[in-house]
Amino acid sequence: DAGVTQSPTHLIKTRGQQVTLRCSPKSGHDTVSWYQQALGQGPQFIFQYYEEEERQRGNFPDRFSGHQFPNYSSELNVNALLLGDSALYLCASSFNYRAGEAFFGQGTRLTVV
Amino acid sequence: GENVEQHPSTLSVQEGDSAVIKCTYSDSASNYFPWYKQELGKRPQLIIDIRSNVGEKKDQRIAVTLNKTAKHFSLHITETQPEDSAVYFCAAQTASGGSYIPTFGRGTSLIVHP
């Protein structure tokens, strides 16, 4: 079992550009949540996908969007990148959005210059 | 929404000592409280969790206690070892629209000196 996998591991983008991050959930999991973790902070919830639909959304602007595919994998898209978007982006998967336990991927370190 | 406060932000102990990290939460509807360990450059890993119908849970050197009335929960690590050094995050999970979304504390950096 490969667990939760994310790609790429590191990324450098220029302010104003767009970025797409990818996540494959743990085998048997159908729910994917995305988090932003700034340096020295706890993960902040961005949104959650289940059955290819966004179920819940945290306090993030519309520049942050996502998608879930029929195989449960997911993408996070960020448009018009700002310097403040630099962070570790974590994906977590769980079985059923009602479940408590979530498994995290290793994250994508995004640096906006 | 839920608000989780975590203390201390940094905890330094000698190998073999005990370590205690405390968290408080604001939403009485929260019913699931996981603790994650995050080593430098690695993913957060669930180390122990507790549900609101339980007051205490133990797994070897790690234990978590929950006081629903006071809305606080704590992580206890006994006989600390250098490999316990990491950042520990508490979280409180509340159902929102049917989904259970965790709110994380800001983390505690635990340093265990050999």
pLDDT in tens, B14-60: 999 999 999 999 998 898 899 999 998 889 999 999 988 889 999 99
- The pLDDT tens digits of the residues spanning A23-54 come to 999 998 999 999 999 988 899 999 999 999 99
Shortest CA distance from A10: residue in chain B:
B41
Indicate whether A101 pLDDT > 80: no
Q: Is the pLDDT of residue A89 over 90?
A: yes
- A48 with B99: Cβ contact below 8 A: yes
Average pLDDT, chain A: 93
Which residues lie below 8 Å from residue B65, measured CB to CB, with a gap of 6+? B50, B55, B56, B73, B74, B76
Question: Which pLDDT value is given to residue A23?
Answer: 98
The nearest CA of chain A is from the CA of B107 a distance in Å of: 6
Please report the pLDDT score of residue B1 as a whole number.
78
List the single residue in A40, A58, A101 with the smallest CB-CB distance to B46: A101
pLDDT for the residue numbered A45: 92
Range in A49-53, B62-66, B96-100, B107-111 the model is least confident about = B96-100
Q: pLDDT-derived band of residue A98, with 50, 70 and 90 as boundaries?
A: low
Chain B hits for A4, Cβ within 8 Å: 43
pLDDT at res. B97: 64
Chain A residue at shortest CA distance from B44 = A104
| pLDDT tens column, B67-89 | 999 999 999 999 999 999 999 99
CB contact under 8 A, B43 and A48: no
Other CB atoms closer than 10 Å to residue A42's CB: what's the count? 22
Residues of A in contact with B32 (CB under 8 A): 100
Is the Cβ pair B100, A104 closer than 8 Å?
no
Average pLDDT over residues A94-103: 75
Buried b (16+ CB within 10 A) or exposed e, A71-105: ebbbbbebeebeeebbbbbbbbbbeebebbebbbb
pLDDT given at position B54: 81
Task: Give residue B69's pLDDT.
Answer: 93
Instruction: Please give the DSSP secondary-structure letter assigned to residue B19.
Output: E
- pLDDT of A97 higher than 80: no
pLDDT at residue A100 above 80?
A: no
**Cβ–Cβ contact A53 with B under 8 A:** no
Q: Which of B43, B51, B104 sits opposite A105 (nearest CB)?
A: B43
pLDDT tier, A14 (very low <50, low <70, confident <90, very high otherwise)? very high
Residues linked to residue A64 through DSSP beta bridges, in sequence order: A78
pLDDT for res A9 = 95
Q: Does residue B4 have a pLDDT over 80?
A: yes
Residue of A nearest to B43 (CA): A106
- Predicted confidence at residue B42, as pLDDT, reads 87
Give the chain A residue whose CA is nearest to the CA of B91.
A42
Q: Which of A57, A45, A103, A29 is nearest to B92 (CA)?
A: A45
**Cβ contacts of B99 on chain A, cutoff 8 Å:** 48, 50, 55-56, 97-98
